[in-house]
Amino acid sequence: MAEVVFKDVYKYFDDTLVVDNFSFQVNDKEFVVIVGPSGCGKSTTLRMVAGLESITSGDILIGNRVVNDVSPKNRDIAMVFQNYALYPHMDVYRNMAFGLKLQKIPQDEIDRRVARAADILGIEPLLRRKPKQLSGGQRQRVAVGRAIVREPSVFLFDEPLSNLDAKLRVQMRAEIKKLHDRLRTTMMYVTHDQVEAMTMGDRIVILKDGVLQQAGTPMDVYRYPENMFVAGFIGSPSMNMIQAYVSNGQLVTGNTSIPIEGFFEKTFNLDDVSECIVGIRPEDFFIPTSTDNQTPAFDATIELIETTGAEVLIHCSLNTMSMVIRAMPDSYIPDANSIKVGFNPARMHLFDGKSEMTLRR
């Protein structure tokens, strides 16, 4: 069993607080992704698990054992970094075997482990090559292989794919996911890329300025973001945020009013709210047919239409706010500057304008 437990963990660099009261449990065999913008404390959090960074206060446990004062090599973890740091003068086999030799593991056991890792990663033909004779993706695999042969109880990955081009990154992220399915070992994976987080994590942890914003399954945080930061960070293009206020039982934005009675009052807590932010994802907008005057709609002005092939992004403005609508390539787009933009109220998000927290009950 190798859960990783954080209990009230703080980390200061001198006077600067970079991890602020972090408490979380990575369950045994779980794949948890830590995601957030640059500088939010992701690497520091992972490096504290690895023992490469001290903890200012709090506890970190790996498999029920407090590891605060345990040296990195005795933590039963293996870490893969962004720059793979392969030994340039050693071939692939020796790169993978080196750490095991230091641990005085018997040669036949080393051979067995390297052969298994090479098989899992499909790099048997490369075992006699030096790192400089490998592509970026192959070096990446060797770095992962070096972690696999240690047979750790926890794998730690810090942006291992960021040196790869976009296509290879998509391929390798699927491979790491498959690796997890195969090894069934606890994994913690750090990235700033929300797509990577969404596609790989059993659960994802969203950090901002060293503070945990939300943790949950990818679909949970996507459907039910607890605050505007998470709502805007997860999903691409980002959720549209539209200012509104509550007046006479109506939610008013620009010249659109949506009656609160019925659905909204059950779903959202609007009791003490005057100003709020309506959040609507690009895919939750649609262009109503001319006969549909039931659905709530905004009057918007088309600014730009982008076609990617699989979808069309319609950039619009609504008063001074801009919004993006995601539509199918064959959907009807009126040949006019101003359009009505409908949305499904059940897919609407609502945030307190001041606290930026969700108003969902």
Ligand X SMILES: Nc1ncnc2c1ncn2[C@@H]1O[C@H](COP(=O)(O)OP(=O)(O)OP(=O)(O)O)[C@@H](O)[C@H]1O
Q: Residues interacting with Mg ion, by CB under 5 A?
A: 43
Residue number with CB closer to ligand X (39 or 125)? 39
Residue 188-227 contact track with ligand X, rule CB under 6 A, x = bound:
----x-----------------------------------
Length of the chain: 361
Residue number with CB closer to ligand X (39 or 249)? 39
Contact between 41 and ligand X per CB under 6 A: yes
Residue 142-181 contact track with ligand X, rule CB under 6 A, x = bound:
----------------------------------------
Main-chain dihedrals φ then ψ at residue 253, nearest 5 degrees:
-140, 125
Contact between 245 and ligand X per CB under 6 A: no
Q: Which member of 12, 13, 245, 263 binds ligand X (CB under 6 A)?
A: 13
Short-list 238, 236, 233, 240, CA closest to 208: 233
Q: Which of the stretches 36-44, 127-135, 143-151, 244-252 binds ligand X when contact is defined by CB under 6 A?
A: 36-44
Other C-beta atoms closer than 10 Å to the C-beta of 62 total 22
Q: Output the furthest CA–CA distance in the chain (Å, rounded).
A: 79
What is the spatial distance between Cα 83 and Cα 101, in angstroms, rounded to a whole number? 23
Q: Which member of 12, 23, 39, 57 binds ligand X (CB under 6 A)?
A: 39
Is 22 strand, coil or helix?
Answer: strand
Which H or E run includes 50? helix 42-50
| Cβ 139 to Mg ion shortest distance, Å | 19
Residue number with CB closer to ligand X (38 or 64)? 38
What is the spatial distance between Cα 117 and Cα 89, in angstroms, rounded to a whole number? 21
Which H or E run includes 101? helix 92-102
Short-list 241, 198, 230, CA closest to 348: 241
Q: Which member of 42, 139, 146, 281 binds ligand X (CB under 6 A)?
A: 42
Contact between 18 and ligand X per CB under 6 A: yes
Cis peptide preceding 225, ω within 30 of 0: no
| Cβ 43 to Mg ion shortest distance, Å | 3
The residues of the shown chain that bind ligand X, judged by CB under 6 A, are 13, 18, 36, 38-44, 192
